[in-house]
Amino acid sequence: MAIQIRNRALSLLSLLLHLLILGSNGVYSNAEFGKVPAIYVFGDSTADVGNNNYLLKSSVAKANFPHNGIDFPSSRPTGRFSNGYNGIDFLAIHLGFRRSPLPYLSLDISKSSHQILQGLRGVNFASAGSGILDSTGTAITMREQIEHFTDIKSNITARITREATDDVMSKSLFIISSGGNDIFAFFARNNTPTSSMKDSFISSLVVEFKDHVQMLYNLGARRFGVIDVPPIGCLPYSRSLNPLGGCIDTLSELTQGFNQAVKYLMHELSFSLNGLKYSIGSSYSVVQTIMKNPLELGFKEVKSACCGSGKFNGQSACMPNSTFCSYRHEFLFWDQLHPTHAASKIAALAIYSGSIEFASPINFRQLVEDQI
């Protein structure tokens, strides 16, 4: 196992050197332009770029205030749970976009033809706090996110031909990043679940996940980029709950079980749904590799959050009155639940062009280059 982790670290180091070379030649940001017509994003706070800013519920998680965004252009908080970009932003950059497409709720699709045409380049529907299950959280559920996509597609179809719309959808990349909140919610109700309880929960979660994928497929999606759940048992928040400060094994077991089940599901769907292509990006493997080899990958702190309070800075969210670190690029975690700009950059690189340890059965670059 130690040798395997070490090999993963060397693989990540090789990718980072490649990234530095591209950056020095000034081609990193636009070399891949035109890989896909659009990116459509669904998920939770790992992918949200501001949808929750528009929600009025006080219970909804938001990040549109300092110190979030301190390293974003103009140092402005956007609703991303990060000091800068999140993983979706970096994946979009690899695909030739400036960053993630705009949040759905920032668009007025009822009035502006410009906004509709912007939807042809992609939309981000992700909502912090949401999950795969309708019962998870108080934000925009995955089902509602897909309904919003249906509205976008209908408006696009009304302005161009149905054939042209279907062609765009079939060539676009549909990214799904969700599941962690469902696991946290289950754990909150059952912190010592039996094996049968864990199996039953994972099965119900995967059934819902399958339903969402099939709904998107029926709406024209053919290329799916799935981001698996990171090792949430080792997040600063989770460590703060453990009297010994270690990872919470139950959360880790649930995460690994769900990730494996999704791998099997997507493999099966690739045979049963004609034309479906997919890649599963393993944020779990990336974060685990960084935690095991921090110094080699440029990190000094992989347990505590940069911004927060309490034990591991993980007992509260990053708020305007929170303390935050000066050397943010040395931290794996920005807040109690989310990675830093630096960690997201590495994760996106590994998922986009890394080896099978980080994206399988093919990486995202191979997925978008594949001719359906």
On whether the CB atoms of residues 95 and 35 are closer than 8 A, the answer is yes
Say what the pLDDT of residue 123 is. 97
Q: 3 pLDDT exceeds 90?
A: no
Of 359, 371, 361, 306, nearest to 94 by C-alpha is 359
Is residue 106 flagged as an active site residue?
A: no
* Cross-strand partners of 324: 307
State pLDDT tens for residues 298-322.
999 999 999 999 999 999 999 999 9
Say what the pLDDT of residue 371 is. 64
Residue type, 121: R
Cα gap 79→50, rounded to integer Å: 4
Please state the rounded mean pLDDT for residues 210-239.
98
pLDDT > 90: what percent of the chain?
84
Say what the pLDDT of residue 29 is. 43
Of 335, 331, 339, nearest to 309 by C-alpha is 335
Task: Name which of 31-40, 121-130, 152-161, 170-179 the model is least confident about.
Answer: 31-40
pTM metric for this prediction:
0.93
State pLDDT tens for residues 113-150.
566 667 889 999 999 999 999 999 999 999 999 999 99
State pLDDT tens for residues 323-336.
999 999 999 999 99
Cα gap 239→246, rounded to integer Å: 5
On whether the CB atoms of residues 137 and 131 are closer than 8 A, the answer is yes
List 45, 100, 282, 353, catalytic entry: 45
Say what the pLDDT of residue 159 is. 86
Say what the pLDDT of residue 6 is. 62
List 127, 338, 341, 353, catalytic entry: 338
- Give the residue carrying structure tokens 């980029």: 225
Overall residue count recorded for the chain in this entry: 372
State pLDDT tens for residues 176-215.
999 999 999 999 999 999 999 999 999 999 999 999 999 9
- Give the residue carrying structure tokens 């559920």: 141
List 322, 335, 341, 360, catalytic entry: 335
Say what the pLDDT of residue 119 is. 83
Say what the pLDDT of residue 4 is. 64
Helix residue spans in the chain (DSSP H): 2-24, 87-94, 113-119, 142-159, 162-171, 180-189, 195-218, 236-241, 249-272, 283-292, 341-353, 364-369
Cα gap 105→124, rounded to integer Å: 9
Say what the pLDDT of residue 216 is. 98
Helix, strand, coil percentages for the chain (3-state, nearest 5): 50, 10, 40
Cα gap 346→177, rounded to integer Å: 17
Please state the rounded mean pLDDT for residues 17-41.
60
Token pair for 267: 């493999």
Please state the rounded mean pLDDT for residues 241-263.
98
Backbone dihedral angles phi then psi of residue 259, each to the nearest 5 degrees: -60, -40
Average pLDDT, the chain: 92
Is residue 335 flagged as an active site residue?
A: yes
Say what the pLDDT of residue 11 is. 73
Q: 31 pLDDT exceeds 50?
A: no
Say what the pLDDT of residue 34 is. 65
Angle CA(51)–CA(258)–CA(265) in degrees, nearest 5? 95
On whether the CB atoms of residues 139 and 130 are closer than 8 A, the answer is yes
Is residue 199 flagged as an active site residue?
A: no
Cα gap 148→342, rounded to integer Å: 31
